[in-house]
Amino acid sequence: MIETLRWEPEAGFLRLDQHLRRLSRSADALGFRQPVDAKDLLKAAVSGEEDLRVRLTMNFRGKVEVTTTVIKPEPEGCLWRLKIADQRMKSDDALYRHKTTRREPYDAARAEFDKSEADEVLLLNERGELCEGTITNLFVESDGGVLITPPLSSGLLPGILRADLIREGKARSDILRPANLKGRKVFVGNSLRGLIAAELVD
């Protein structure tokens, strides 16, 4: 199992409690033991004057390991290019509701396009509904300004940023198809990077 967190020198960990709750819920669902000393290990792993990407991995016995790398901010005004993969997600595969090292559909989708062609690759399910990106959740701005994000029933990871935006009333879930991306403001995002403006490219 995996959790990827952001740590900032002044703010500390962003959404730490939400990440640990998701880890605990997934452990229960998948029959893993609960994490051992996760919060203490996370706090012991971070220091310095730069923002960090913090990766927590946990095996089925509950043993936690933490690694960190410096994360640079996205350039101001950046716009990620999106492509849609031929690879499909199975909407009824409950394992992909949990963040684990089983990433075959995501890796296969990412491999369809070179980094020079797309910054992120979106997946559809067997019904042609948009699910998520390989490392992000998807958001489309509605006429009222609220962000629309695919529902869990489409088959996707319940991202931490996604859950926060829904809880704050800034987003709601509804079925999205590729046609819904046209003529709308589109964003992808996760807890590590926040919301990033994006566009679907041919």
The one-letter code for the residue type at 13 is F
* pLDDT at 74 > cutoff 90: no
* pLDDT at 52 > cutoff 90: yes
Same domain, 177 and 121: yes
Q: Residue 86's domain is classified under what CATH number?
A: 3.20.10.10
Q: What is residue 43's predicted lDDT score, i.e. its pLDDT?
A: 96
Q: Which of 52, 70, 88 is the last residue of a domain?
A: 70
Same domain, 43 and 62: yes
For residue 118, being part of any structural domain is answered with yes
For residue 75, being part of any structural domain is answered with no
Same domain, 171 and 86: yes
60: buried, middle or exposed (CB in 10 Å: 19+, 13-18, 0-12)? exposed
Phi, psi of 151, deg, nearest 5: -75, 160
Q: What is residue 5's predicted lDDT score, i.e. its pLDDT?
A: 97
Predicted structure pTM score: 0.94
Per-residue pLDDT tens digits for 167-184: 999 999 999 999 999 999
What's the number of CA atoms in the CB half-sphere (13 Å) around residue 36? 9
Per-residue pLDDT tens digits for 84-140: 999 999 999 999 999 999 999 999 999 999 999 999 999 999 999 999 999 999 999
Q: Which of 42, 70, 98 is the last residue of a domain?
A: 70
User: How far is it, in rounded angstroms, from Cα 51 to Cα 178?
Assistant: 34
Helix axes 160-167, 16-30, angle to 10 degrees: 110
Output the CA–CA distances (angstroms, integers) from residue 188 to 52, 142, 162, in the order listed: 20, 15, 10
Same domain, 140 and 176: yes
Label residue 73 by pLDDT band (50, 70, 90).
confident
The domain of 190 spans 80-200
Whole-number percent of the chain with pLDDT over 70: 100
* pLDDT at 60 > cutoff 90: yes
Whole-number percent of the chain with pLDDT over 90: 97
Q: Which of 37, 70, 103 is the last residue of a domain?
A: 70
Q: What is residue 139's predicted lDDT score, i.e. its pLDDT?
A: 98
* pLDDT at 202 > cutoff 90: no
